[in-house]
Amino acid sequence: MTKNRALPRLMPGLIPGLIPGLIMAAALMCSGLSMAAEENDPVKVALEAASDAAAAARVADLQRDPNSPVLGNPQGDVVLVKFFDYQCPYCKAVEPKLDKLLADDKGVKIVVKEFPILGPVSVIASKAALASVRQGKYAAYHHAMMAYRGKLTDEVIFTTAKDVGLDVDKLRKDMISPEVADQLLANFNLARALKITLTPGYFVGTHELAGVSVKTSSAAIDFPAEVAAARAANKTVKK
């Protein structure tokens, strides 16, 4: 397998090139498009198999990156990973399902991969979110941003930050730190390795549920069932 090239360092407010081909496609559509899923489509099947194989090879980066924010139970026995963009309506439409999953199942750990592919304001939002970690407010800020409906602007990003109790002046300074830029680079490199080209992208364990094919409907994912299957598989492996 050809090793991925590291992307150039992110400059404040920009992702150089935004991985041109990947971002061009992602800017036009999200994986939650209301298309009938074609489970036997050979291209879709091949993409998903390749993504699963890549996830198994990069499981530490996918599930245990210490710089990726975590929601739910940090010691959960089932790990769900999400790649998302704060401007993606399909990501936001699925979010209540994930909130309910965490409320109902205390054994789930959600690893959050900020993946701002839908334009410069998405990059600013993700930088603000990652910077909020330093003030211990990531979960509050993330949930508020995912709950927002309407056009995302710089004003919305920073007003939301203030509303959840963030020191906005400190947030702005932390947003331009090398650590925040490097985390976004790491997320983009990981997404490329996992064949994720769309948002939302979801994995349960190392199994891809959405993110590689427009023929997958994120709205149709049964997260409790996927988590139950992963938990059963984990128990079988441990025997």
pLDDT value of position 238 = 63
Domain membership flag for residue 44? no
The enclosing domain of 90 has a CATH number of 3.40.30.10
Ranges of residues in the chain with a pLDDT under 70 are 1-39, 237-239
d(CA 2, CA 148): 40
> What total number of domains does the chain contain?
1
Residue 19 maps to a domain: no
pLDDT value, residue 239:
57
Domain-located, residue 18? no
Q: Which residues contact 169 (CB under 8 A, 6 or more apart)?
A: none
Q: Which two tokens stand for residue 29?
A: 């559509």
12 lies in a domain? no
Helix (H) or strand (E) holding 201: strand 201-204
Secondary structure (3-state) at 172: helix
Position 75 in a domain: yes
> Burial letters for 141-152: b for 16+ Cβ neighbours within 10 Å, e otherwise?
bbeebbebeeeb
List the Cα angle 88/141/103 in 5-degree steps.
85
Question: What pLDDT sits at residue 38?
Answer: 55
Judge whether 2 lies within some domain.
no
Is position 5 within any domain? no
**Does 137 reside within a domain?**
yes
Q: Containing domain of residue 114, as a range?
A: 54-238
